[in-house]
Amino acid sequence: MLYLAEVQKGKGGLLGGGKAELKLLACQRSEQSWSAVPGEEVVICEEANNYSAGALVLVDLTSNRQVQRVQEAARQLVSILQNFSRLQEKFKTQEEEIEQWKQSLTYQSQELNRREMEMEARREQLQQMEEDFEQLEQQRQEIETQREEVNRLREEFNTSRQDLEGAWEHLRGEMRRLEERQAEFQQASVLDEGSAQTIQELLNRLTESTPSTDGIQEQLAGSLEIVNQQQALLSQHWQNLDHHRSRAQQMQEEVDRQAQDLHQRWLEWHQAQESLEQARAELKVQQSSLSSKKEYAHMLSLQLQNHEELHQQVYRLADTSENVTIGHQVDVDALEKMPLDELQKLVQELERDLEKLSRFVESQEEELRFKQQEIEALQAKIQSASEFDRLNLENELTDEQDGYQMLNETLVGQRRSLRERKSVLGRHQAILRQRQGIVDSASQDVGIDLGPILGQIDGHRHQQSEELQKLESQIAQMQSAIEQAEGMISNQTSDLELKRNGLRQEEETLLGRRREVAELWGRVNLYQEMLQPVQDAVDSLRYRLEGVAGALPQMQESGNHQRQAIAEMRQIIAGLTSTPELAAS
């Protein structure tokens, strides 16, 4: 199981040979899950001597707390923190998107409620207009009835007038005959009884045929009253028509204003889209520059790997030949001035540390050989295993190979440390023998010192490493800037997409409003087309009734003249006849 631990060291000897421990801080539960280790749990580990006190390392422990491998935790901690930062940015972006969707849904819900209220109001207006149309239709039918009544009265009036004209013609004929008879009987003072009786019957018939205008006046007054009532209802409908026309004009102005505002917002959206395209072009330039820097960083990394391989080859060369050594900085003056017994103790202590480290390295080498044998055995099993067992064996082989790789990488540093301590011990032993006066022929052999070469290699490595670190820092900054730009572009893209969808919805809403305004104008025009013929019919009916009312006084005056003429004729006949009863009748 993998743990995060802190290196702790106690006080040791001159070369730092103190006891090293690992304080367990956290335990990995899954790939992205860690939990703190309760208490003060420590594990003794010889490999921790290779790390300074307070350093953070990753240690792989078995179930019985045996150390399998130790590695630096810096890179993995940085990777974990970077992943955590990316997750935070992702969660923040998702929260912003969710909030934007919430606002969009709230706006759409409010818009739907508003449109539903407007549709309800439109439905009520339509219902009211339908009722008004029904009333208009009823009024039109009543007006048609009144028109038929007026036509009937007109026909009766014309018939009465024709009868009256016929009676007058008959009367004028009788008067002419009377005048003729008056000329015939101008020498006589009286009429005979038969003629007088005939004239008297004619006068009676003429009196009975004189029309009466009282009934016509009553019917005419009733018709005018009905026409006035119809005109009052029509006036109310004309007012409703003016109200609907004003409403239609108001809605038309509102729709025109919304159309202009929507056009302006579309212009702003296109400008924002152009700015976004420009930002995308700049992002591509930055990504191209980042790609170039990554290629250069990869080249530097390859050079560092080559120098590392050269460094390892130099060390392997030093291991393969006794005449090849790697010089280390040893304070020779201090050792020559040191008391001889202290120098002997120091050499003995270095020999014990070297022996301890040699045994530890040998045990690690033995474990490495044992792991190699296990890997070879698993490979042999895989070749003869079934499909079901092969999967488990391959997973086990992968784990063993990973353990072998980590142990081998750990032994590289330990082998190097062992060679360095051998070199230091050899220099101390040579100085001790020299001070004891012992001639050591082996120590007088000059050999080949690869220290300067390693120094140059390390110098190049250090220079390239610093350059690579700077370049990686620049790459990290550029990546951060590019990620921010990508996030900003992504947010702007989402925002523009939401705005475009909103504008399209508003266009659809505006189109619906335009249809509503057109329908309202159509209803207003239809209302007016229906009202105008009814108004024309009422005006025509009123004109005709007023004409009839104007002709009634003339008819009444004509009747009065007729009755007066009949009375005068009766007096004339009474004067011409010798029978007073006939005159009186």
- Between CA 53 and CA 9 the distance in angstroms is 6
> Which amino acid belongs to residue 360?
F
> Are the CB atoms for 137 and 144 separated by under 8 Å?
no
Residue 409 CA to its chain's centroid (Å)? 53
Lowest mean pLDDT among 294-298, 314-318, 337-341, 371-375: 314-318
Torsion angle in degrees (nearest 10) through CA of 352, 357, 359, 361:
-170
- Between CA 414 and CA 47 the distance in angstroms is 8
- Between CA 583 and CA 576 the distance in angstroms is 9
pLDDT at 73: 77
> Are the CB atoms for 361 and 407 separated by under 8 Å?
no
Structure token pair of residue 494 = 């989402």
- Between CA 359 and CA 46 the distance in angstroms is 11
> Are the CB atoms for 215 and 480 separated by under 8 Å?
no
445: pLDDT strictly greater than 50:
no
Partner residues linked to 22 by β-bridges = 7, 43
pLDDT tens digits for range 164-176:
677 667 667 766 7
Q: Exposed/middle/buried for 80, CB within 10 Å: 0-12, 13-18, 19+?
A: middle
The helix-helix angle for 387-436 and 214-320 (nearest 10°) equals: 50
> Are the CB atoms for 425 and 354 separated by under 8 Å?
yes
Q: Pairing state of beta strands 20-28 and 42-44?
A: antiparallel
- Between CA 573 and CA 571 the distance in angstroms is 5
Structure token pair of residue 340 = 């001889």
Element containing residue 300 per DSSP (H, E): helix 214-320
Question: How far are the Cα atoms of 1, 85, 112, 263, 508 from residue 503, in angstroms, in the given order?
Answer: 57, 35, 15, 10, 9
pLDDT tens digits for range 97-154:
777 877 877 887 787 888 778 788 777 877 777 777 777 777 677 777 767 776 776 6
16: pLDDT strictly greater than 70:
no
> Are the CB atoms for 196 and 577 separated by under 8 Å?
yes
Supply the pTM of this predicted model: 0.37
> Are the CB atoms for 209 and 169 separated by under 8 Å?
no
- Between CA 328 and CA 455 the distance in angstroms is 10
- Between CA 464 and CA 304 the distance in angstroms is 7
Architecture of domain 281-465: Orthogonal Bundle (1.10)
Element containing residue 481 per DSSP (H, E): helix 451-576
- Between CA 534 and CA 136 the distance in angstroms is 8
User: 279: Cβ–Cβ under 8 A, 6 or more apart, which residues?
Assistant: 485, 488, 489, 492
Q: Exposed/middle/buried for 237, CB within 10 Å: 0-12, 13-18, 19+?
A: buried
> Are the CB atoms for 53 and 43 separated by under 8 Å?
no
pLDDT at 509: 87
Q: Is the dihedral of CA 491, 495, 496, 501 positive or negative?
A: positive
> Are the CB atoms for 109 and 99 separated by under 8 Å?
no
pLDDT at 443: 47
> Are the CB atoms for 48 and 57 separated by under 8 Å?
yes
pLDDT at 420: 74
pLDDT at 267: 92
- Between CA 66 and CA 60 the distance in angstroms is 8
Give the mean pLDDT of 155-184.
Answer: 68
> Are the CB atoms for 221 and 549 separated by under 8 Å?
no
Partner residues linked to 61 by β-bridges = 67
User: 265: Cβ–Cβ under 8 A, 6 or more apart, which residues?
Assistant: 503
Partner residues linked to 36 by β-bridges = 26
Give the mean pLDDT of 285-298.
Answer: 87
- Between CA 244 and CA 386 the distance in angstroms is 88
User: 9: Cβ–Cβ under 8 A, 6 or more apart, which residues?
Assistant: 16, 18, 19, 20, 21, 48, 49, 53
Share of the chain above pLDDT 90, in %: 2
- Between CA 311 and CA 384 the distance in angstroms is 42
pLDDT at 326: 58
**Residue of higher predicted confidence among 79 and 371:** 371
- Between CA 224 and CA 456 the distance in angstroms is 127
**Residue of higher predicted confidence among 511 and 111:** 511
Lowest mean pLDDT among 157-166, 499-508, 532-541: 157-166
> Which amino acid belongs to residue 187?
Q
